[in-house]
Structure 1
Amino acid sequence: MTKFLLSLHVLAAILAVGPVTVAASMFPAAVRRVPVAVTAGGGDGAGVWDVGTVRLLHRICRVYAGLGIAVPVLGFATAASMGVLGDAWLVASITLTAVAAGLLAAFVLPRQEELLEQLTDRQPVERALTARLAMFTGVFNLLWATVTVLMIVRPGSTTGA
């Protein structure tokens, strides 16, 4: 049963957290590229605001963040079946996962929504806002990378990994 739970946990991490980290990383740059002038086809040359990519990236982040709930749920089940719930590496991983989830919920997704609203209303976006979002996203990604390393290395583990 442990191998099955561990397999589900790893698959959930790859399939849920992976898309969030990639889409969230792409979001700030996509926001900066929104105003695209379209002159082909004999149009009047007026600029159009193409927010489709930004909207899609935000939707990926939202949907996969929701699916990402499966990662800690399966992680707890796996840890319980392995008998490692009290191990320091796991406690550190749980703490970092909670911080990453909080960062995503409190800073990344709300700021994406704000920027998307501004773009939808054809308001210019300050570069500082996208830079701050990129910073929060970078910290989020760094936390997940750290959790991944802890899951692989498991400092103090007696399994020989």
Structure 2
Amino acid sequence: MTKFLLAVHVIAAIVAIGPVTVAASMFPPAARKVLEAPDDPSALATTRLLHRICQVYAVAGVVVPVFGFATASDMGVLGDTWLIVSIVLTALAAVVLAVLVLPRQSAILEGAVQDGTVDRAATVRLAMFTGIFNLLWATVTVLMIIRPGSTTGA
């Protein structure tokens, strides 16, 4: 059962978190294209699509920690330090996405739709928060791979 849970956890992480990190990273430059070409409908459509991808896959990403907890419980490692740190970093990444990234994407899109303008400084701040989100996920991934103190030999 552990192998099944771990496989679902890893596949869910790849399928759900991967698109969020890529789409969120692509959003600020796409929004700046709206600023450069306000009359280009494809630029606005691209930013809308990237925001929608972030929203949908953020919700789908809930599966990752659910199966992560099930796997950790089955493996008996819920109290291990590397896992606790990973849980905290995962929660922090979720907060960054929900509080700092997605609302800023929405605000940038709203401004672009209402008056065709995009605040360049807002896209720079959004890129910073997106980078923090991505760095948190990269750190969790590394912790999941190296598992400090693990007895499995990894």
On whether the aligned pair clears a TM of 0.5, the verdict is yes
Deviation at 1:122, TM superposition (A): 2.5
Does the alignment pair 1:137 with 2:130?
Answer: yes
The count of residues paired between Structure 1 and Structure 2 equals 152
Residues 49 and 119 in structure 1, CA contact (< 8 A), matched pair in contact too: no
For 1:131 and 1:12, locate their aligned partners in 2 and report how far apart those are by CA, in whole Å.
30
More helix by share: 2
Deviation at 1:158, TM superposition (A): 1.1
Q: Deviations over 1:50-72 (max 9, x none)?
A: 41000000000000000000000
Residues 49 and 122 in structure 1, CA contact (< 8 A), matched pair in contact too: no
Does the alignment pair 1:147 with 2:140?
Answer: yes
For 2:128 and 2:102, locate their aligned partners in 1 and report how far apart those are by CA, in whole Å.
13
Residues 2 and 81 in structure 1, CA contact (< 8 A), matched pair in contact too: yes
Across the aligned residues of Structure 1 and Structure 2, the Cα RMSD in angstroms comes to 1.1
Deviation at 1:87, TM superposition (A): 0.2
For 1:36 and 1:135, locate their aligned partners in 2 and report how far apart those are by CA, in whole Å.
23
- In terms of Rg, which structure is larger? 1
Aligned to 1:41: none
Runs of 4+ aligned structure 1 residues displaced above 3 Å come to: 47-50
Identity percentage of aligned residues: 67
Segments of 5+ residues of structure 2 without an aligned counterpart are none
Aligned to 2:80: 87
Query: What SS does the corresponding residue of 1:95 show, helix, strand or coil?
Result: helix
What is the TM-score normalised by the length of structure 1? 0.91
Deviation at 1:126, TM superposition (A): 2.0
1:10-159 alignment runs, 5 A limit: 10-34=10-34, 35-36=36-37, 47-50=39-42, 51-159=44-152
Segments of 5+ residues of structure 1 without an aligned counterpart are 38-46
